[in-house]
Amino acid sequence: MKKPLVPSSAVAVLIAAVALTPTRSAELDTAKLRSEAKLMFGVIPDRMPGAENDTPERVALGKKLYFDKRLSANETQSCNSCHLVDDHLAGVDNEVTSDGAFKKQGDRNAPTVLNAGFHLAQFWDGRAADLKEQAKGPVLNPVEMAMPNEAEVLKRLQADPDYPRLFSAAFPNAAEKITYDNTAEAIAAFERTLKTHDRFDDWQKGNDRALSEKELKGLRLFLDVGCTTCHVGPVIGGKSFQKMGLVNPYENTTDAGRFKVTNDEDDKFKFKVPTLRNVALTWPYFHDGRMPRLNEAVKKMGHLQLGKELTAGEEDLLIAFLNTLTDKTRRAKAE
């Protein structure tokens, strides 16, 4: 009788290993995963709330205003200075906090303007209800664009050779064309065009080849580990205010967050949950910009919000999924 080419003990081990190795279908039910993802997130809608009233003329005016440095006191800052969207950038300046018109530093990180109109409110503390209200704030903020008053803003706009015509085209039925309210409405109209489209949207719509197996495992982990306690909805965030340090306290206790707006003790250290769309491009992270790299932010969030110490392998999977949320046409600012 011939001896087996492989010892019987090794064969047994090999058979057991094969039996214990899950197939892709057993390991990852893609149809179930897609169903869960669409229920929890959904794809980014075609239009932002309020866009039904926008016209090409209003958007064109808003774009000109968005890039106009004359909306700052010393004509050094525009909306785009802190929320860069030209040259395919991701709506941020990638600074911890941003310089204002006179080099004064803001106290919070500038969030991305991409998809911002899908959020429940604007600013980290939600003090502005919508894009229009938000657009009015930085222009008159003494730390940011530092214009002294609305009248000075309108004086500059009226002196421009193009703005009277552009405002008339954008607001043909308004009794007064160049107003501060119309200025903000036009900027908001332009910002409502800043929606993104990524591979995760493609996968949710049925393109099985849009995501790799590793990225799908990252999505599975994202759903299972508890990230969706806060990060839900089409832009995977922006739908609620949550305490920074839900399970374990955050080290920075100088910024009371939404409490400054509501004066409600329950709102202490609560901030608007940021969108995770384009998160790979929008470093540094958190309201104070303290986390320079995505892997550090993921690890910190696991500790602070979930009370979990994520392994290096788990971090790797989560980051793989987060990278699928990058718009196909956007890029990060060079370091």
| pLDDT band, very low/low/confident/very high, at 19 (cuts 50, 70, 90) | very low
Query: Whole-angstrom Cα distance, residue 166 to residue 172?
Result: 10
pLDDT at 102: 95
Query: Whole-angstrom Cα distance, residue 283 to residue 286?
Result: 9
Give 112's contacts (C-beta < 8 A, 6+ positions apart). Answer: 83, 90, 91, 92, 275, 278, 282
Reduce the DSSP state of residue 271 to 3 states and report it.
strand
With beta carbons less than 8 A apart as the criterion, state whether 112 and 282 touch: yes
pLDDT at 24: 41
| pLDDT band, very low/low/confident/very high, at 25 (cuts 50, 70, 90) | very low
Q: Is the pLDDT of residue 15 over 50?
A: no
pLDDT digits (tens, 9 = 90+) for 285-332: 999 999 999 999 999 999 999 999 999 999 999 999 999 999 999 999
pLDDT, average across residues 198-215: 98
144 is catalytic: yes
Q: Is the pLDDT of residue 22 over 80?
A: no
pLDDT, average across residues 118-143: 98
Q: Taking all residues of the chain, what is their mean pLDDT, rounded to a whole number?
A: 92
pLDDT, average across residues 54-61: 98
Q: Calculate what percentage of the chain has a pLDDT beyond 90.
A: 91
Query: Whole-angstrom Cα distance, residue 82 to residue 306?
Result: 31
| pLDDT band, very low/low/confident/very high, at 11 (cuts 50, 70, 90) | very low
Query: Whole-angstrom Cα distance, residue 84 to residue 96?
Result: 15
Query: Whole-angstrom Cα distance, residue 36 to residue 42?
Result: 9
The DSSP code sequence of 163-217 is HHHHHHHHSTT-SSSS-HHHHHHHHHHHHTT----BHHHHHHTT-TTSS-HHHHH
Q: Is the pLDDT of residue 3 over 60?
A: no
Instruction: List for the chain the helix, strand, coil content (%; round to 5).
Output: 45, 5, 50
pLDDT, average across residues 5-33: 50
| pLDDT band, very low/low/confident/very high, at 56 (cuts 50, 70, 90) | very high
Q: Which pTM value belongs to this model?
A: 0.90
Q: Is the pLDDT of residue 147 over 70?
A: yes
- Domains of the chain are 24-44+197-325 (1.10.760.10), 51-191 (1.10.760.10)
Catalytic residue (choose from 144, 185, 191, 215): 144
pLDDT, average across residues 25-44: 89
Reduce the DSSP state of residue 45 to 3 states and report it.
coil
With beta carbons less than 8 A apart as the criterion, state whether 58 and 183 touch: no
Q: What is the DSSP secondary structure assignment for residue 272, as one 8-state letter? A: E
Nearest to 64 by CA among 186, 173, 154: 186
Query: Whole-angstrom Cα distance, residue 259 to residue 122?
Result: 15
pLDDT digits (tens, 9 = 90+) for 159-188: 999 999 999 999 999 999 999 999 999 999
pLDDT, average across residues 59-81: 98
pLDDT at 179: 98
Q: What is the DSSP secondary structure assignment for residue 105, as one 8-state letter? A: B
pLDDT at 334: 80
Nearest to 243 by CA among 235, 228, 253, 232: 253
Position 107, amino acid: D
Reduce the DSSP state of residue 285 to 3 states and report it.
strand
pLDDT digits (tens, 9 = 90+) for 248-262: 999 999 999 999 999
With beta carbons less than 8 A apart as the criterion, state whether 145 and 138 touch: yes
Nearest to 32 by CA among 257, 216, 291: 216
Query: Whole-angstrom Cα distance, residue 43 to residue 41?
Result: 7
Query: Whole-angstrom Cα distance, residue 122 to residue 113?
Result: 10
Give 335's contacts (C-beta < 8 A, 6+ positions apart). Answer: 94
Give 104's contacts (C-beta < 8 A, 6+ positions apart). Answer: 142, 143
Q: Is the pLDDT of residue 8 over 50?
A: no
| pLDDT band, very low/low/confident/very high, at 335 (cuts 50, 70, 90) | low
Least confident of 3-17, 60-74, 112-126: 3-17
pLDDT at 13: 33
pLDDT at 10: 37
pLDDT at 5: 40
Torsion over CA of 116, 119, 123 and 128, rounded to 10 degrees?
110
pLDDT at 333: 87
Helix 180-191 and helix 163-170: axis angle, to 10°? 70
